Amino acid sequence: MAGRAAMLVNLGTVVMTVLTLASFVEGFGVNWGNIASHPLNPDIVVRMLKENKINKVKLFDADSWTMNALAGSGMEVMVGIPNNLLETLADDYGNAKDWVKENITAYMRKDGVNIKYVAVGNEPFLSAYNGSYLKTTFPALKNIHRALKEAGHTDVMKATIPQNAEVYQSANDKPSEGDFRSDVKQIMLDIVKFFHDNDLPFTVNIYPFLSLYLNQHFPVEYAFFDGNGQTIPDNGKNYDNVFDANYDTLVYALNKAGIKDMKIIVGEVGWPTDGHKYATPKLAEKFYAGLMKRLAKDVGTPLRPEKLEVYLFGLLDEDMKSILPGPFERHWGIFR
């Protein structure tokens, strides 16, 4: 317990809210990013995760030091492929086959790594990228899926593409008007059809904080789960928070694509603790308290009332991240 106590530095109520409720929640994980000037030893991080009963982790690469630290832990792992590898993997199936051999198959041994998902890219269709990955993401996904299948791994793991919620939108902010963004609509339709045909999940990153940050007129309470803000009626469903509305906007977009039952994973959701007037430990605690209580009850959204699969963002503050989106980018950590 001394080691655990030493890690719970300064975030106080945020950490304790997550960890106190964690024992009542199954199926949630954390994002483990490492864009830091002094990254923690992966062995320490894995021990910290296990001591705090967090048994699922999402990575942004396949760093061997991190992967070896996870070997034998039993933790479910989503391994990431950075965007800068998408072109290489898209251009040559042999490259994808080699990547799978070196970063997946190498850990599929007794007391190896419990890899459940392979994340191909990270938010590759973000509008800020100006279409840089539009031509490479889907071919890279298909090559990685094929390589995983040929290696005999698809019975235990699935490929996916973590997308920012920006890839879909609603003209009037009501979920029922949800559809994929016009400039990426055709490629998204192709991707979700491939997901459906191969039983792959849709992964989406949803950030209520950013709704508040990007719109000065956004109703503050609508970013939380307390039900204290406005309620928006839509097609017989009532929405009292932006997370539910955002998630169900995706459900409607999938429905319009003819897909009714696709598994959805929330790849990132969280609240920063510094760098903006709304990025405070107090509001982070409020957000996580509502989210974790929701997860503990196995209550989903109005359109998808079943249990949610969620990865919190993120595990640790990352002091080398770009602050172009805002200073808060370096302060998403539950732990410091």
Q: Which residues are catalytic?
A: 123, 268
Asked if 218 contacts 211 with a C-beta cutoff of 8 angstroms, the reply is yes
d(CA 139, CA 117): 18
CB atoms within 10 A of CB 122: 23
Look at residues 266, 216, 207 and name the one whose alpha carbon lies nearest to residue 242: 207
Tokens of 241: 């928070």
Which residue pairs, CB below 8 angstroms and at least 24 apart, start in 108-113?
108/153, 111/71, 111/72, 112/71, 112/72, 113/67, 113/70, 113/71, 113/73, 113/77
Q: Which 8-state DSSP code applies to residue 25?
A: -
CA–CA distance, 109 with 152 (Å, rounded to integer): 13
* Residues 276 and 213: beta-carbon distance below 8 Å: yes
- Dist CA 97 CA 105 (whole Å): 10
